[in-house]
Amino acid sequence: MGTIDILNSCYMNRELSWLSFNERCLDEAGNPDVPLAERLTFASIFQSNLDEFFMVRVGTLMIHENENDFIDNKTGMNCSQQVEKILERVKILEEKKSFIYEQLMGELEPKGIRIINFNKLSAIEAHLVEEYFDSNIAPFLSPMIVGKQQPFPFLDNKKLYGVVHLLSRMGKTKMGIVPCSSPVFSRLIEIPGRKGTFMLCEELILHFISKLYENYTVKEKSIIRITRNADLDSVDLDDEEDDYRNYMEHLIKKRRRLSAVRMELSRPINDSTKKQLAKLVGIENEHIINVGTPLDLSFVFLLQKWLKKENPDIHLFYKRRLPRNPQCFDMRKKLIPQIEEKDKLVAYPFHSMKAFLEMLHEAANDKNVVSIKMTLYRVAYKSKIIEALVEAAENGKEVVVVVELRARFDESNNIEMSRLLEDAGCQIVYGLGSFKVHSKLCLITKKTKNGFSYITQIGTGNYNEKTSELYTDLSLMTANQNIGSEVAKVFLALMKGETVTETEHLLVAPNCLQNKILKFIDDEIQKVKNGGSGYVGIKINSLTDKDIIDKLIEASQWGVKIQLIIRGICCLIPGIEGFTENISVVSIVGRYLEHSRIYRFGQGNDEKIYISSADFMTRNTIRRVEVAVPIYDEEARSKIKHIFDTCIIDDAKGRELKSSGKYEFRKINENPVNSQEYFFEEVYKCLM
């Protein structure tokens, strides 16, 4: 194998790497070490992840299938080739999901839950269920027959439909469509007299679907589910609204009717029916996938609810964990003065978000605070953060909020939130056009005897009380005036529709992050050239930026030690002799979503440490406004290194990416270390 061929083997396709990540989520559904009820969650996560993947990534690839210049810069595959590989891999994963699902259902039976089909009912039960269908379901169904008078209906994204191949008394074939989703009837139908035994409503509808077409013979039938493209960037409006918020609302409506990218079938159907369906939906046959499980797994949360109520076995669920107040704060005292004394680092979900919320409320009511500026990407429904900003505005503070309306699938929530803030008197800025504002910044400005001072918060995750209990994230609160001054420059640029071009302390994309990362890696290479040792440690969600990947390969060739903790997509293959043998990659998939981003360059006294909102993806490094903040406080630096080093040796939920491109569990510690549980134990012992 030549040098170029070996180098090419150092890269993995982004989409296939993502599917590998989602398979790791699916593996948790089949992991006997995970509590049974929690494994149901991972099965649902696998499905919802895959839905979004088709809606976003596959949808985008299909739009560009005929564009020759839309090529993966790491593997050289065009869009059609990538879609072909994706569909091949997804069909294999669906078989694996089917096996794990059946395993889960089998293990649930001794716990009192069964999901059955009509054939498992006694004659009396079948009669009762039929009566239930006739009285409680059939009146609310709207069966259709496709024909000249009734064209093929629009099938909503991710909704369930029954499809039937019908034969009339005259020998003519027809297609029938029955919507199976309704708020009127429950998804799970409990069998009378058999507590904990359920049928899925769509299966009941499909069984009795012939009663809806009494003048026809049902030749074959299946449940189908359509997934539609959700790539709003590809949508052009004929008449773009002058008001950006109205424009986004129009786009959201457009999304609902974008083209189909996948059709799932609960049962195989013959080729001619499948071909007809594909034509009517506007999809290629290859995008029709047979699924061996229910097409919508969201009902598993109803099963969990039933288990919590009816089954006393506490081992079915994770041990209860509640975030604690951070040890670095005395919550009995005012928080802003404590931040002015010393930097504070908070780690979610181990620490509560209460300290940050309290800081905002203090600022809203502090007579010396003149302004609060904040970036918002995703926030919780009925957010306490919004309440604090409204409170500040009503108290006469200048409140400037940069709201990113293009936070995918959160657009509607962000639109409503922006209206609420605007009504309270806040100044709203809607991003930067071609650059999404993804940074997590909060800047509080106070008047002082000497003029003014800043309190700054910079984080790795969204200002969202709900996800702060589900995602691992880091939040720095500091009175460092150099940092505050540069954050003020970021806000000033955003308000003028511009981006920062120079920084001394912060790393700020799109102009001052990727280039500085590359320089920091070069610095580590130079240390090795000078006879010393170099080190790079990165914890992120995804690595796709080829410029950074190539620089890491170069650093590895020079002997720089590189440790990467990458939860999801990793387009770099480690362990390739002569290229990446000095690189290790670990992925942690556990109870909480790993979301914090940490950058480390060098070791010892000259080590640079940052936390950031940015993954090493091209969209983050050069197409978004992202911010990384240096950690100067020694106690905060020590905490971050401890977090990173513990994650590296996680051999309970951490897997190592091998040169084969496969992720494997490893044995490092005498007693396996689950980093997330370890950090909670530390918080409970007041050690973190």
Cis omega (within 30 of 0) for bond into 32: no
Task: State how beta strands 216-228 and 627-630 pair.
Answer: unpaired
Per residue in 294-345, pLDDT tens? 999 999 999 999 999 999 888 999 999 999 999 999 999 999 999 999 999 9
3-state secondary structure string, 270-313? Answer: CHHHHHHHHHHHCCCHHHEEECCCCCCHHHHHHHHHHHHHHCCC
- 498 forms beta bridges with none
Residues 6+ apart with CB under 8 A from 251: 232, 235, 237, 411
Q: Is residue 152 within 8 Å of residue 177, measured between CB atoms?
A: yes
Decide if 573 contacts 12 (C-beta within 8 A).
yes
Instruction: Please answer whether residues 211 and 198 qualify as being in contact, where contact means their C-beta atoms are separated by less than 8 angstroms.
Output: no
Peptide bond into 268 cis (omega under 30): no
What tokens were used for 278? Answer: 């594909």
- pLDDT of 241: 47
Per 3-state DSSP, the chain is made up of helix, strand and coil in percentages (nearest 5) of 40, 25, 35
Structure tokens at 275: 């071909």
In 406-430, which positions are buried (b, 16+ CB within 10 angstroms) versus exposed (e)? bbeebbeebbebbeebeebebebbb
pLDDT value, residue 295: 97
Q: Which one-letter DSSP state was computed for residue 318?
A: P
Query: In one letter, which amino acid is 181?
Result: S
Q: Give the ranges where 144-287 is alpha helix by DSSP (H).
A: 201-207, 244-255, 271-281
On the 0-12 / 13-18 / 19+ scale of CB atoms within 10 A, 351 is: buried
* Gap between the Cα atoms of 202 and 186, Å rounded: 10
Which is it for strands 561-566 and 535-540: parallel, antiparallel or unpaired?
parallel
CA angle centred on 566, ends 431 and 654, rounded to 5°? 140
How many angstroms separate the CA atoms of 608 and 536, rounded? Answer: 10
The answer to whether 651 and 321 are in contact (CB under 8 A) is no
Give CA 567 to chain center in angstroms: 11
The Cα diameter of the chain in Å comes to 93
How far is 241 from 48, CA to CA, in rounded Å? 32
- What pLDDT is stored for residue 56 in this prediction? 92
Question: Which of 438, 505, 595, 642 is the catalytic position?
Answer: 438
The torsion angles phi and psi of 283, rounded to 5 degrees, stand at -140, 155
CB 37 within 8 A of CB 610: no
pTM: 0.94
In degrees rounded to 5, what are phi and psi of residue 114? -140, 135
Residue with tokens 């089917």: 98
pLDDT for residue 636: 98
pLDDT of residue 254: 63
Q: What are phi and psi of 12, to 5 degrees?
A: -125, 145
Six-digit token pair at 57?
């990534």
Host H or E run for residue 584: strand 583-588
Contact 374, 400 (CB under 8 A): yes
B/e letters for 150-176, b = 16+ CB within 10 Å, e = fewer, are eebeebebbebbbbbbbeeeeeeebbb
Tokens of 306: 């039933």
- Strands (DSSP E) found in 40-172: 114-115, 144-146, 160-168
For residues 565-591, one letter each, b for 16 or more C-beta atoms within 10 angstroms of the residue's C-beta and e for the rest, the string is: bbbbbbbbbbbbeebbebbbbbbbbbb
- Is the separation of the CB atoms in 205 and 137 below 8 Å? yes
What's the token pair of residue 298? 């969201």
Task: For residue 566, give both structure tokens.
Answer: 């990458």
**Calpha distance 134→125 (Å, rounded):** 14
Q: How far is the C-alpha of 356 from the C-alpha of 477, rounded, in Å?
A: 8
* Residue 438 designated active-site: yes
In DSSP terms, which residues pair with 608 in a beta bridge? 601
Tens digit of each residue's pLDDT (9 = 90 or more) over 502-538: 999 999 999 999 999 999 999 999 999 999 999 999 9
- CA–CA distance, 378 with 383 (Å, rounded to integer): 10
Per-residue confidence (pLDDT) for residue 231, from 0 to 100: 72
Asked if 13 and 75 touch (Cβ cutoff 8 Å), the reply is: yes
The answer to whether 348 and 471 have CB atoms below 8 angstroms apart is yes
Tell me the residue length of the chain: 688
Distance between CA atoms of residues 388 and 36, nearest Å: 39
- Residue spans of the chain under pLDDT 70: 1-2, 4, 232-244, 247-248, 250-257, 407
Q: How far apart are CA 537 and CA 287, in angstroms?
A: 40
